[in-house]
Every structure is written in C-alpha cells, then in structure tokens.
Amino acid sequence: MSQPNGNSRKTSSTLRQIADEAGVSISAVSKVLNGRGKSVRVSPSTAQHIRDVAIKLNYVPNVLAQSLRMSRTKTVGLVFENFGSISDGPEYYVHLLDGVASELFKRHYRLMILPEIDRQHPLASVGDGRMDGVIWCKMPPERATIDRLRSSPIPFVALHAPPPEAPTDTVFISCDNAGGARLAVDHLVGLGHRRMLFVLERHEETTPDAQARLGGFLEACTSHGIDVQDEDVVTWSREADEFAHWHRKRGDQTAIFAWNERIASSILRRAAEAKVSVPNDLSVVGFDSTPYCELTSPRLTAVRQPIRLMAGQAAHTLLDLIEGRPPSQYDQVFACTLDVRDSTGRPRGGRPSPQS
C-alpha cells in the first residue's frame, strides 16, 4: 500500500482544534469564522490570531451546515425555457447573464441555471430548498401557474413584461416593449414604408414580451393609418426557413420587423441566400440590439433594450426580497432606443414620409 507523501491534502480542522491551538474558547472561534455568537466579544488582535491559526490548520468552513443554520443556501435560480446558444450568434443571453451574475457575485450569492419547470407543479421545481429565490425569464403566462407560484416558499422576480391580468404583488422587470416597437415602425414609416411584416418566433410567440411587441407594432401601424392584414403577422422557425417561400409569394410588403435580433439575423442570412438585397429590396429591423448587430451583413437596425441593466436590477430586487426588504415598485419598465444601422432604407421608388 502506498504511503501518503508530503503533498497529500490536509484534512479540514475543527473549531475545537483551532480553539486549542489559539488558546481561546470555541465560541470565540465560531464568532470570528462563522459570525455566530452576538454576545461574544473578541478583540481585533485575537480575531486576527484566530484567522491565522485557521489558515495554518487548513480550516475549511462547512458551508452546507452554515446554510442550514441560516435557512439560506446563498443560491439564486435563473429559469430559462427554450434556451438558445450563448457562445455564438446573438448576445442577449450573454448580457443577461452578465447583469445577473455581477449583482449576485458581489453579494456572495451563487447562480443556478434551470432549463425548465413543471408547469402543473411549479413549486416542485423551485421550492425544493436548493435556492433562496428565482429570477424568471419568460415566466409562463398562464394565470393558474402564476397563482400557484404565489404560494412559493421563496421569492421570485419575473424578467419580462407582465402578462394580462398579472398579479400586482409580483415583481416584473422589463423594457418598454410596445414603445420600442413603435420606434421601429416610426422609423420604417419615415423612410417611406407603408406595409410591413411582423415576424414572431415559434415556441416564443406567446411570451409576454413577444405579445407586447406585437401589440406595439399594431398600435403604431394604426396611428400611421396602415391597415394590417392577417398575412402581415407570421410565426417562423428560429432559422427563418420560411423566408424563401414568403418572398416568392409576398405582396407589397417592403420591410420586416422581427421580434428579436436572433430571428432578424436569420432573415438576413435567408435574404442573402435568396439574392434579396437588404436594404435595397427589403428593410429589416430587429429587437435587442446587442453588439452582435454590428457583425451581421448588413449591420442590423434594431431596437435597443438595456438588457444588462434590467438583469442587474432583477438580481438586486430579488436579493432585497430574500433579505426581507420589499421592492419600491412591482412593475419596473426601462425605456428603449433605436439603433439605426445598414439594414433599413427607403423602399424602391418610395419617398420619405412627411413625418420623418
């Protein structure tokens, strides 16, 4: 049998061993290393001596035991459904994760990513004791599911637009989706476009954000006197496989407004494959406007929502709820702007609208 050598890992020391080595009480060690014992007084020099001894003896705190004592796991869940790629393509998830993590990590919380939940029994997914709270991207819009979640033993924050008849005691953090859609329509109308296609994405078409953007699109068209037909709103696959068929059959639509930058970039690729010149033959607008839009060909005009700021606010608000501080408001809406790039232009033979 091989013998342990000098490089073998030392076993973690106990509080009693540290107390004996430091010549102090166990309660003093617990006060310094675990923050327990409010009535125990330890001088700064003694506290430093205890920490030095703990390092010398290779002390590792039992985080699980501490969590059980505190009734906290110091872990927050981030729920995604229909999750897309992080490493390539659109950067929505990159900025979202950056915003959440930057807020959690500076307050010493961990992040757990959950791909889905059981909609019939959502509490089984989020209330099993692994997490202190949940940030929900694209929370199920069904009122019955939301009502069941309201009895959750842990708080949650929704990082999307409120669905219709949303409960007033649930925190929703979102951008002004409808206002952002109006910016896109105003821009296209100003260029001279009088008929546009709104593209939803399969499996995302019922999300509150998608519906809010569609609502903003319809309202903006109405305000400009544009009559939207049934065929002006479609649902396509993430890769916009339907583009070629639509282009062959299309009527007088001269622009596309896609619900996010992911499917908008797919439309740009499909247009190039079909020899459709953007923006000369067709203008394209997306939503999100991360730096990825600078890399598409042509560069994508898109509505910008402050994703990182919104995600950071969601994390900040959730931690306040976990630590017993109520939110200042339950429905927090961030303004959108429009980044005009190369994918939009005047329609062939068109003139700028007098409103531009």
Global confidence as pTM? 0.78
Specify the DSSP class assigned to residue 128.
S
Q: Are 135 and 294 in contact (CB under 8 A)?
A: no
d(CA 213, CA 223): 15
Measure the CA angle with vertex 208, ends 190 and 77; round to 5°: 125
H helix or E strand, kind and range, residue 22: helix 15-22
Smallest Cα–Cα separation from 343: which of 301, 287, 308?
Answer: 301
Residue 34's SS3 state is helix
Tens-binned pLDDT, residue by residue, of the chain (356 aa): 444 444 334 445 688 899 999 999 988 888 888 766 667 788 989 989 988 888 888 776 655 455 445 556 889 999 877 666 677 778 898 999 999 999 999 999 999 988 777 666 666 666 667 889 999 887 766 777 777 777 777 888 999 998 776 777 789 999 999 999 999 999 999 999 999 999 999 988 988 899 999 999 999 999 999 999 999 999 999 999 999 999 999 889 999 999 999 999 999 999 999 999 999 999 999 999 999 999 999 999 999 999 999 999 999 999 999 988 988 888 899 999 999 999 999 998 655 655 44
CATH topology of domain 75-175+307-335: Rossmann fold (3.40.50)
Domain 15-61 shares a fold with domain 75-175+307-335 = no
Lookup: tokens for 48: 């430093």
CA 218, CA 161: separation in Å to the nearest integer?
Answer: 17
- CATH 3.40.50 is held by the domain 15-61: no
Distance CA 169, CA 331 (A): 9
Q: Is 296 exposed, middle or buried (0-12, 13-18, 19+ CB in 10 A)?
A: buried
What residues does each domain of the chain span?
Answer: 15-61, 75-175+307-335, 177-305
- Which residues are CB-contacts of 238 (< 8 A; sequence separation ≥ 6)? 84, 201, 202, 262, 263, 266
Question: DSSP strand E in 289-344: where?
Answer: 301-304, 331-334, 337-339
Give CA separation, 339 vs 59, 210, 215, 301, 342, in Å.
53, 19, 21, 6, 10
Sign of the CA dihedral 231, 233, 237, 240? positive
CA distance 163 to 136: 13
Give the β-pairing of 337-339 and 301-304. antiparallel
The fold for domain 177-305 equals Rossmann fold (3.40.50)
